[in-house]
Amino acid sequence: MSEVYDAVVVGSGAAGGMAATELCFKGLKVLLLEAGPHLDIATDFQHHKKPYELPFRGRIRPLERAKYNYTANEWNKPHFVNELEHPYTGKKFVWVRARCVGGKTLHWGLVSLRFSPRDFQAARHDGFGENWPITYEDVEPYYTRTEKMVCVCGHAEHLENNPDSFFLKPVPLTCPEWVLKGGVEKNFADRHVIHGRSATATEPVNGRAPCHYCGHCGRVCNVAAAFSSVGVLIPIAEKTGNLTLRPNAVAWKVLMGGDGKAKSVLFLDRVTRVPEEAYGKVIVLGAGCLESTRILLNSKNEQYPNGLANSSGVLGKYFCEQIMASDIMGVIPKLRGDTNRGGDAKPDGAGIYIPRFRNLKDKQRDFIRGYGFEGGGGSSEFPGFARKIPGFGAKFKEEVKKNYAAVVSIGSFGEILARPENFVELDPVVRDAWGISVLKINVEWGPNELAMAKDMVETQREMFKAAGIEVMSERTEPLPPGWSIHEAGTARMGDDPKKSVLNKFNQCHDVKNLFVVDAAAFVNSTEKNPTLTIMTLAMRAADHIAEEMKRGNLG
């Protein structure tokens, strides 16, 4: 029989990477399975190559476009899946997936926001849904530990619904960001425009290089100043000597032993398609919300015909994320012609953030919960506003330069209610390139989301008007479900095994040595980006696993 590890962890991104690293810290022998290859962030990406050095100015070749999701480009495409090999079915949905060591942390937007006490107990405030089985106070020490490891830059604001983090120094606001901040806060007492909170090292920490302000975070940071699991967590785990990394391992299902415990993960070699089995005293799924759920659904057996650990029937249900319902871009007249170019090289997530202001002290008539705005001032190598300026040649270029440092934009992220009507299931017919059943996705916006979307459009307009910003472009229709890349909630945690899949430590109610540590565990999504909370809960779950292993309750 093959070696039996203390823990087999599936997925090497935010969830799996953190869980594996923490377990290695605790002295456990860990096998980490990753479906994609192990790429070198310093050499396997284009990074700083200029657009004019690439055949389509960095865009995906037209004949290859169908293979990639909307975020892929010539700089970062090596780690994204080939969509033709990884189909899914159902209603219109955008499922962005990365398969390589580090997962989606290689290209995420770096926005790092703590959930608030209210977020964990949202049902208590408005009566909708369920409260989490944990409180902010349970999680707060782990937030701090995670932030010290990940590094989050930002500024303490002391806002009740946006708890401050353990911050490194913030990235300064640009001139247009200051103008927006002044106009909004002067005219709306309940609204704040604050420094973006970004998982970026703005100073040297633990031998990690600080950000060099190239502005190319989305092309994969080659020095790991922008946090990624492969740049920060995996090297730490490897130094313990307790990690075995197995790339190109496409997880198929969890297999059970005769004792009612999970015994192994059955996977296929990505290249050879040969099946292999990885044995562990504990199995930890951290492959991403929908992928972990897909593995559990594919793991159905005689005892659990509707998916492993699904005696509740909840597995796959209560999908939630954020709706990206509107965005707006404008120019500040008094800054037009400014030759400052400092705004185009900020790290992702370090622009501005306008925290939720709806349904906190007020109560909206048409919807519950709320939304926030993320954005920034300044332009990139491809200034999007240039498409709105007529003309061509030298005169056109001069006009673009006049507006370069005067542009500001914001986009919205609103909470999607966790409803059983939004769910995923296995497609009975369609399989991926490895012969594994794919997901059928049944998700669409409900009345609450659409009412919230309407309000987002109105508030973005009134804030720009208050700040004296001339609108250049505006989107007023919601993007399709999935676009936020913040999927959550299909294996929710809870105290009642009849209404949840996991307990408060991300442990399956039905299978005690099986854990799910990604956003599938979320009870609701909130309006805040989920990655910091994913890592925090994965760290907390890993601590629980280690303690239970010591007590002999899992092995």
The string of pLDDT tens digits covering residues 123-159 is 999 999 999 999 999 999 999 999 999 999 999 999 9
Please give the pLDDT value at position 510.
Answer: 98
Q: Quick one: average pLDDT of 418-444?
A: 98
Q: Quick one: average pLDDT of 282-286?
A: 98
Please give the pLDDT value at position 284.
Answer: 98
Least confident of 324-333, 373-382, 438-447, 480-489: 373-382
Given a cut of 80, is residue 382 above it in pLDDT? no
Least confident of 278-282, 389-393, 516-520, 536-540: 389-393
Please give the pLDDT value at position 339.
Answer: 65
Q: Quick one: average pLDDT of 339-343?
A: 57
Least confident of 108-112, 191-195, 375-379, 489-493: 375-379
Band of residue 341 on the pLDDT scale cut at 50, 70, 90: low
Q: Is the pTM of this model over 0.85?
A: yes
Given a cut of 80, is residue 514 above it in pLDDT? yes
Euclidean distance between CA atoms 300 and 262, whole angstroms: 12
Asked if 16 and 287 touch (Cβ cutoff 8 Å), the reply is: yes
Percent of the chain surpassing pLDDT 70? 99
Euclidean distance between CA atoms 483 and 504, whole angstroms: 28
User: HEC string of 489-528?
Assistant: CCCCECCCCCCCCECCCCEECCCCCEEECCHHHCCCCCCC
Band of residue 381 on the pLDDT scale cut at 50, 70, 90: confident
Q: How high does pLDDT run on average in the chain?
A: 95
Percent of the chain surpassing pLDDT 90? 84
- Of residues 286 and 258, more confidence is placed in 286
Q: What is the amino acid identity at position 372?
A: G
pLDDT digits (tens, 9 = 90+) for 237-247: 999 999 999 99
Given a cut of 90, is residue 425 above it in pLDDT? yes
Band of residue 497 on the pLDDT scale cut at 50, 70, 90: very high
Euclidean distance between CA atoms 301 and 41, whole angstroms: 40
Band of residue 340 on the pLDDT scale cut at 50, 70, 90: low
Given a cut of 80, is residue 338 above it in pLDDT? no
Asked if 350 and 191 touch (Cβ cutoff 8 Å), the reply is: no
Given a cut of 80, is residue 380 above it in pLDDT? no
Please give the pLDDT value at position 343.
Answer: 52
Burial class (CB in 10 A: 0-12, 13-18, 19+), 338: middle
- Of residues 384 and 207, more confidence is placed in 207
Band of residue 57 on the pLDDT scale cut at 50, 70, 90: confident
